[in-house]
Amino acid sequence: DRTGEIELAVDGLVKRFGGITAVDGASFEVESGSITGLIGPNGAGKSTTFHCITGIHQPDEGTVAFQGQDITGIAPYECADYGLVRTFQIAREMANMTVLENLMLPAKHQQGEALWRSVMPLARREVEAQERDLLERVWDTLEFFEIEHIAEEKAGNLSGGQRKLLEMARALMTEPEMLLLDEPFAGVNPTLERKLLEHIHELRAEGYTFLIVEHDMDLIMEHCEHVIVMHQGSVLAEGVPGQVTSNEQVIEAYLGG
């Protein structure tokens, strides 16, 4: 149990795009087993920070450590091996696959890697046993998110909210310890939003760590125990929700845009 330890540490992160400094020396820590919110006005550098953490972008400066291990500049596919995942939107190629197939894929990828690494080829019945285990895990995940009824539905036909559930379900299939969610409630109706939040709290109770980028400040304040505010590429303020909402600089950053 890592509760209370530092799960993720970002230190002095800088990311430039030509003349634009999207992330400008951001430093923060996320406690293991917490739901931490990352907020800030549009263009503050939140998504770029996520991309630097998960290897989509190479940071120009700074370090990222996960569970005490330096993962700066890691390749995106390596992240899952460490237990760190971000949700990503269902790509066009995956829209034609069913929900079930979408969930099989990330785990298959990992299994494939494990097979690749193993020296001995697996006996056929071992492969079959693995397939059975995987299918069981897929169904457990479908049940957890209460989406068994859409298992055979094409991902492209889902509502915005159902798609968000699938994105999170898919992230969980890689058996992560920490999830990075970038605006997970965008385009989600209030009923599904509540469900999504319930699932996040349940998973947290199981020991998962969450870092959530979200626009809706009230929502973050209600559901996160720790809030980090970014502005112009760096951390402007952080603390428990009450501290952050009463911070003059934060109020100004939001009102001033």
Residues that bind Mg ion (CB under 5 A): 47
Q: Taking CA 41 as the corner, what is the angle to CA 166 and CA 255, rounded to the nearest 5 degrees? A: 135
The reply on whether position 22 binds ligand ADP by CB under 6 A is yes
**CB under 8 Å to 112, separation ≥6 — which residues?**
none
Q: CB 46 → Mg ion: shortest distance, Å? A: 5
The reply on whether position 184 binds ligand ADP by CB under 6 A is no
Nearest to 32 by CA among 76, 66, 82, 64: 66
The reply on whether position 13 binds ligand ADP by CB under 6 A is no
Measured from the CB atom, the residue of 42 and 118 that comes closer to ligand ADP is 42
The reply on whether position 44 binds ligand ADP by CB under 6 A is yes
Measured from the CB atom, the residue of 47 and 247 that comes closer to Mg ion is 47
Measured from the CB atom, the residue of 25 and 43 that comes closer to ligand ADP is 43
C-alpha neighbours within 13 Å on the C-beta side of residue 207: 8
Mark the segment that binds ligand ADP (CB under 6 A) among 35-43, 103-111, 235-243, 244-252. 35-43
The reply on whether position 46 binds ligand ADP by CB under 6 A is yes
Cβ atoms of 145 and 127 closer than 8 Å: no
Mark the segment that binds ligand ADP (CB under 6 A) among 46-54, 156-164, 167-175, 249-257. 46-54
Reported in sequence order, the residue ranges of 58-204 that DSSP labels E, i.e. its strands, are: 61-66, 69-70, 84-86, 178-182
- Side chain identity at residue 35, one-letter code: I
* Partner from Mg ion, ligand ADP, none binding residue 22, C-beta < 5-8 Å depending on class: ligand ADP
Mark the segment that binds ligand ADP (CB under 6 A) among 6-14, 43-51, 96-104, 145-153. 43-51
Q: CB 41 → Mg ion: shortest distance, Å? A: 10
Q: CB 47 → ligand ADP: shortest distance, Å? A: 3
Measured from the CB atom, the residue of 41 and 83 that comes closer to ligand ADP is 41
148-155: Cβ within 8 A, 24+ apart: 150/99, 151/98, 151/99, 151/100, 152/98, 152/99, 152/100, 153/98, 153/99, 154/95, 154/96, 154/97, 154/98, 155/90, 155/94, 155/95, 155/96, 155/97, 155/98, 155/99, 155/102
The reply on whether position 20 binds ligand ADP by CB under 6 A is yes
Single out the residue of 43, 76, 83, 239 in contact with ligand ADP (rule: CB under 6 A): 43
DSSP H or E segment with residue 228? strand 226-231
The reply on whether position 45 binds ligand ADP by CB under 6 A is yes
122 DSSP assignment: P
Binding stretches for ligand ADP (CB under 6 A): 17, 20, 22, 40, 42-48
